[in-house]
Structure 1
Amino acid sequence: MSETAARAGWVEITCEGELREVVGGPNRHAAHKTRTALHALDRAWLAHSPLCFIATSDGDGSCDVSPKGDPPGFVKVLDDTTLAIPDRPGNKRVDGFTNILRNPRVGLAFLLPGRGDTLRVNGRARIVRQAPFLDGMTVRGHRPALALVVEVEEVFHHCAKAFLRSGTWDPDTWAPQALPSRARIAKALDRPDDTLEFLEEYYGPGYAERLYG
């Protein structure tokens, strides 16, 4: 069956007018909740958040979303419209960074474990390799070589519906063993030349000890 035939029953939305016919418009509170600077409550949220997701796109519109995590408060508030996020050792693909060099616009979502609501920030980013605040981002003796500095353009809090529907923080819904281990996935998809024994050791208990190495 061709792709066209398989999708014969689809009805696609092609303009905003059609979209609004289906979903309607936002209520007054949702439409006007966006702010352009951080409130004291936003600062408190950032001080307790250990995890954020950074969305970027390149000049052609190709997108990337990358998680960033560290001890709570790892995101530094430089002022009411500026955030700094440390970079940590990773796989060195730097997809998000290369996107930012072409298109500085970013979208951020900051999470608190156990909370369904999220803090959202949109703005413009730049990559900084030297600044006084980098010293204060040292963790386990590791001073980041780079930081992402974000100039805030929009900030707002997002409700908990997605987390409530998904049961994300409910341990009764967790099933980490439902899929193969990270080692087995790496063997099948990313690192076929490595032995499974090597990968199980690599991603084993010692993996956490090498996070800042």
Structure 2
Amino acid sequence: MKRIFLSLLFTGGLAVAAMAQSAQYESVMGKEVGELDSSKTYAPDVLQQKSNVFERIAAAEKNQWLPYYYAGYCEVMQALMTKDKEKIDGLADKAEANMDMAEALSPKNSEISCIRSLIATARLIVDPMTRGMKYGPESAAQLEQGKAYNPENPRVYMLQGQSLLLTPEQWGGDKVKGKATLELALQKFAAFKPESPIAPTWGIQHTRELLTKAK
């Protein structure tokens, strides 16, 4: 009986420790993810700091896909906003490596497909004339895959609408379809329920800004 009691006590102690660790993880991630909504975050140096923090969290929480996801998100956002095209591939490589880690933990994930689409777009930007034939279809295919994984993910429709709106017509753009797709994205955002307080929610404000441009 004593042995059983000690075993239960030990098991209970592990459970409490796991709960405490989980609460700490949720708290730290909540703070970092919450700050991504600030416009002050969207500067290359701040995004680099953020990606470093998420990578440190990922190193400590090896079974969690979201730290890898957000590290890659910060890196691809840097790649998309930098004016130095020589930096883009390096940032895209880092983002892709983090998406590989995230996908190993969470396969068939629509959110990861969205980031992979952005990575392809970033690589295309380096040289649209020579890279367009490869990375344009790759970006679009990732979004179709993301839609198949979760047809209710509003970020899929936002990115599809953005592509249609901003791509020249001779390369497949369509402003009318782009506007309609962005309007659908807003409907999806209104109905979307994140899986957790730290799950991805970004994109609604950007969708509204794109629709303002479309009008």
Whether TM exceeds 0.5 here: the answer is: no
Q: Between Structure 1 and Structure 2, which shows a larger proportion of helix residues?
A: 2
Q: State the TM-score bracket (shorter-chain normalisation).
A: under 0.3
Q: Between Structure 1 and Structure 2, which shows a larger proportion of strand residues?
A: 1
